[in-house]
Amino acid sequence: MKKPSISRQLAEDLVAASRILAQHEVLDAYGHVSARSDKRPERFVMSRSLAPALVTAADLMELDADSEPLPGDKRKGFLERYIHGEIYRARPEVMAIVHSHSASVIPFGVTRSKLRPIYHMGSFLWSGTPVFDIRKTKPDNDLLIRDRPLGQALAGALGKCNCVLMRGHGMTVIGDSVPEAVFRAIYTEMNARLQLQATQLEGPIEFLSEEEGRRSTASNRGTLERPWELWKKAVSGRGRS
Ligand SMILES: [Zn+2]
């Protein structure tokens, strides 16, 4: 199998990202992480259809701008790869994407309660957390983003935000690097958990202001290497290809 046209560093980051997200229980047997190719920016790379904890570099597949495997690659890709392809098309600055079925996020996709930044680690949620309702695009659906039109509709719902919730399904976050997308996936789950806890206490809840959200997002970018190094170390040596 031809190797994806990405740098070795990016391939290593993607493998680590899959394993980190599985270890943090943001991904289980389902969900996926992808990166825009750093050599051919119209393409992206993600693992073949496989539980994220088992991913090795040999499982990475290069997909074209329409989310289809390159000619000759007969491996089975993820059904929902169109989530990634259509967001990369709509948002040229996006370099990495995580799609998960993160449990604590689900209530916010099926109620009127908005997921909002409750602490600085979730500050990137200042951008808003729109809810994508697949029924509006496809009334006869199975909740999955199985084709390009559904991927386009999801990308449209995401708009300029950092996170989109998917009714009765999960969420998708974007980042300008693999570490940032992983960070955001982990802290979207934590923010949701903390927000649910805070609703049990006397309110109203004091969320971060938009200005605090912007400033804190910039600060977190500056220290991303620290958690990334720690998380990578915790999964290193497992299942090298
Ligand atoms: Zn899904």
Beta strands in the chain, from DSSP E residues, in sequence order: 32-36, 44-47, 60-63, 96-100, 131-132, 163-166, 170-175
Q: Tell me, what's the pLDDT at 241?
A: 46
Q: Spell out, as residue ranges, where the chain has pLDDT lower than 70.
A: 1-2, 238-241
pLDDT at 3: 78
Nearest to 170 by CA among 120, 95, 109: 109
Indicate if 80 belongs to the active site: yes
For residues 137 and 177, what is the distance between their CA atoms, to the nearest angstrom? 30
Cα 211 to middle of ligand 1, angstroms = 32
As separate numbers, helices (DSSP H) first and strands (DSSP E) second, the chain gives 7, 7
**E-assigned strand segments in 130-196:** 131-132, 163-166, 170-175
CA angle 92, 224, 220 (to 5 degrees): 85
Q: How far apart are CA 5 and CA 7, in angstroms?
A: 7
Q: What is the pLDDT of residues 209-225, one digit of tens each?
A: 999 999 999 999 999 99
Ligand 1 centroid – CA 222 distance (Å): 30
Residue 196 contacts residue 114 (beta carbons within 8 Å): no
Token couple for 236: 């290193």
Contact present, 228 and 179 (Cβ < 8 Å): yes
Q: What is the pLDDT of residue 1?
A: 60
- φ/ψ region of 89 (left if φ > 0, alpha if ψ in -120 to 50, else beta) reads alpha
Structure tokens at 202: 């006397």
d(CA 231, CA 225): 10
Nearest-10 crossing angle of helices 178-198, 225-235: 100
203 Rama sector, left if φ>0, alpha if ψ -120 to 50, beta otherwise: beta
CA–centroid distance, residue 99 to ligand 1 (Å)? 6
**Catalytic one among 62, 80, 180, 189?**
80
- Percent of the chain exceeding pLDDT 70 equals 97
Q: How does DSSP classify residue 69? A: B
Helix H or strand E encompassing 63: strand 60-63
Provide the pLDDT for residue 66: 98
The CA 120 to ligand 1 mean position distance, Å, reads 27
CA-based nearest residue to 94, from 149, 163, 152: 163
- Tokens representing 19 are 């394993």
220 CA distance to ligand 1 middle (Å): 27
Distance, in Å, from the CA atom of 79 to the CA atom of 88, rounded to the nearest integer, reads 17
